[in-house]
A and B are shown apart, each in its own frame.
Chain A
Amino acid sequence: MNKNPRPALFWFAVLNAVATFLLIGLGGLVTSHEAGMSVPDWPTSYGYNMFALPIRFWTGGAFFEHTHRLLASTVGFLTTVLAVWLWLKDPRKWMHWLGVAAFLLVLLQGILGGLRVDLKMASLGVFHGAIAQIFLVLVCSIALFTSRWWLNSDKEKQIAVPRGLRSHFLWVTILIFIQLLIAATMRHQHAGLSIPDFPLAYGKVWPDTSTTAIASYNEHRIEMNGENPITAFQVVLQMVHRLVAYTIFLGVAAAAMLARKKLGGGDALTKFAFVWLGLLTLQIILGAATIWTNKAADIATLHVMVGALALLIGSLWCIVAARRTRLAA
Chain B
Amino acid sequence: MKKSLLLLSLGIISALQLASAGDITGTITLKGTAPAEREITPIKDDANCSAMYPGALPTTHFYVTDASGDLADVIVYLKGVPSASTGASADPVVMDQKGCLYTPTILAVQTGQKIIVKNSDPCVHNVHTLPAVNPEVNQVQMPGGADLTFTFDKPEPFLKFQCDVHKWMFAWVSVFDHPYFAVSGKDGKFTIKNVPPGKYTLEAAHRKLGTQDADIEVKADGASQNFTFEVK
Chain A residues within CB distance 8 Å of chain B: 33-41, 46-47, 57, 59-62, 65, 120, 215-216, 218-226, 228
Contact = CB atoms under 8 A, between A and B. Distances in A.
B14 interface: no
Contacts of A62: 124, 126, 165
B46 A60 contact: yes
A196 to B, nearest CB: 12
Contact of A35 (B123, B138, B140, B164): B164
B47 A61 contact: no
B213 to A, nearest CB: 16
Q: How large is the interface on B (under 10, 10 to 19, 20 to 34, 35 or more residues)?
A: 35 or more
B199 interface: no
Interface string B189-215: 000000000000000000011100000
B128 A226 contact: no
Interface of B: 35-38, 40-42, 46-49, 60, 62, 123-124, 126, 128, 136, 138-140, 142, 160, 162-170, 208-210, 231-232
Given A59-B47, A226-B167, A37 B138 contact: yes
Nearest to B231: A219
Contacts of B208: 218-219, 221
A216 B168 contact: no
Contact of A38 (B37, B126, B210): B126
Given A33-B167, A37-B138, A224 B128 contact: no
Of the candidates A65, A222, A226, A228, the one having the most CB atoms from chain B within 10 angstroms of its own CB is A226
Contact of A224 (B36, B60, B162, B209): B60
A29 to B, nearest CB: 12
20 contacts: A34-B164, A35-B164, A37-B164, A38-B163, A40-B138, A40-B139, A41-B140, A57-B124, A62-B126, A216-B232, A219-B231, A219-B232, A220-B231, A221-B208, A222-B36, A222-B62, A224-B42, A224-B168, A225-B42, A225-B167
A224 B38 CA distance: 7
A223 B59 CA distance: 11
A39 B124 CA distance: 10
B61 to A, nearest CB: 10
Given A40-B128, A62-B124, A62-B165, A224 B138 contact: no
A60 B166 contact: yes
Given A33-B167, A35-B164, A62-B124, A120 B138 contact: yes
B130 to A, nearest CB: 8
Contact of B37 (A37, A60, A215, A222): A222
